[in-house]
Amino acid sequence: MKRSPTYNDCLEFLGGERLPAAFVNLDAFDANLGVILKKLEGSAKTLRIASKSIRCIALLKRLLEKGGAAVKGIMGYTVEEAAFLYENGLDDILIAYPSVQAPDMKLLAELTSKGADVSMIADCEDHIRAMGAAGRSAGGELQAVIEVDMGYRPLGDTLVFGVRRSPIRSGEAVLRLARLADRVGGVKVIGIMGYEAQIAGLTDRNPFTKGLNPIKKMLRELSRPDVARRRAGVVKYLAENGLVLRIVNGGGTGSVDSTSRDDSCTEVTAGSGFFCPHIFDYFSNIKLTPAAFFALQAVRAPTADTVTCAGGGYIASGEIGADKLPVPYLPRGGELLAVEGAGEVQTPVVFKRGNKPAVGQPVIFRHAKAGELCERFNELLLIKDNHIVDRVPTYRGDGQCFM
C-alpha cells in the first residue's frame, strides 16, 4: 500500500478546497478490503457489504468490483434505501431492519415485482403477516430473513451482552415463523441472520475505557464459542425439519475472523472496516488503516497552543462516551478540550507539543464511526497517491436521507 497522506500532503491537495471537506484515501480503502477478504480465504463464504457504513454509491460499486466473486450483495437499512440502490444498478439487497408501515410494504412488493433480489429481516408474526399481505396484493412472494438473537447470556435473561433486537432465540421459533409464512402466503423465509454484536462491536483495547478492556476482551472470548454453537444449532434444526436456507448471515468487521470460521454461515457482513474510523483502532483481532477523514478550517488562535476550528460536531451514535467524539489526526499531537469537545459551530484543538497549524490551515480529523460521516457532506474527495482523483456524491449529495 502507498504511504498514508502526511499533513503536508493534505495541505497540498486541500489547497483551494472549501472546508469542511471529507475525503477517502483509496489506497487505504482498497487495502482494508484486502485485509477483510484475507480473513475469509478458504472459508467458501462471501462478503456482504453493510451500506450504512459507506453511504456512497461509487464506493459501494468499487468494493463489489475490487472484491470480485468474493463480495456478493449489500446489507441495507431501509426499504427506501434498497429502492435507491436498485435504481443505481445494485442488487441482492438484504434490508437489515424490519418495517410494517404500508408505504414500505408497497415499495418492497414493487421492487420484488421488478425482479429485484431483495429480502427483509423479520422476527415476529407482525412482520411476516405484513410482508405476506403486501406480497399477496402484488401477486408475488416477498423474501424474509429471520433474525436470531445472538446475545451472550451467561446467567440467563438476568444478564445480557449484545443488542436488543430480535426475540427469536431458537430453531423452533424460526420454524414457527416459516410455517406461518407458508400458511399466510405472499412471503417466504429464505434465510437467517445471527449478528454477534457483543463481539463485532465491542472494542477490547479502547484508550477511553482502559479499566474495562480486560473485561470486554474476556466477554468477547467467552461469547465466540457460545455464538458458534447456538447459530450452528439453529441451522441444524432447520435443516432437519426441511427448511432450506439460502442465506445464513453473521458477523461484522470486529468479528469477521471468528464468523468466517463458523461453518454454519454462508456469508459474513462488514462495512465500517473499509473506512476504518477511529473506533476500529481499538480491536485486538484486526488491524486496518485509517481511510476516511474530514478537514476543518482553523479560524482562530485563542492561545499560544490552541486553534479553534469552524464546525466539527460530528458525534457518533450509540452510548454516550468520549470514544464517540471525532479525534484530531493531523497535524500530530492535537487534542480536544474536555470542557468543549467537538461543537456544532466550533471545535478547539490543543497542540501541546507544537505543530499548531496557522489560521486558515486545515485540521484533519477521524470520525468515531463510518457511514455517519457521510450524512454531513454532499461529496467525498477521493485521494490516490496523495492527489485528488475524483469527487463522488454521498447519499446526501444524491439528495437522499433514509433515517
| pLDDT at residue 354, as a whole number | 84
Q: pLDDT digit string (tens) for 285-332? A: 999 999 999 999 999 999 999 999 999 999 999 888 899 999 999 999
Does 166 score more than 80 pLDDT?
Answer: yes
- With vertex at residue 50, the alpha carbon angle to CA 323 and CA 328, rounded to the nearest 5 degrees, is 30
Calculate what percentage of the chain has a pLDDT beyond 90.
88
Q: Strand, helix or coil at 171?
A: helix
Q: pLDDT digit string (tens) for 76-107? A: 999 999 999 999 999 999 999 999 999 999 99
What is 26-271's CATH topology?
Answer: TIM Barrel (3.20.20)
What residues does each domain of the chain span? 26-271
Does 1 score more than 70 pLDDT?
Answer: no
Does residue 39 contact residue 329 with C-beta atoms inside 8 Å?
no
Q: pLDDT digit string (tens) for 23-63? A: 999 999 999 999 999 999 999 999 999 999 999 999 999 99
Beta carbons within 8 Å of 315's beta carbon, 6+ residues apart: 324, 325, 326, 342, 368
Does 129 score more than 80 pLDDT?
Answer: yes
As a whole number, mean pLDDT of residues 369-392 equals: 96
Residue 11 C-alpha cell reads as 495541505
Does 3 score more than 80 pLDDT?
Answer: no
Q: Where are the beta strands (DSSP E) in 26-172?
A: 46-50, 71-76, 93-95, 118-122, 142-147, 154-157
pLDDT bracket for residue 161 (50, 70, 90): confident
Half-sphere exposure of 57 (CA within 13 A, CB side): 20
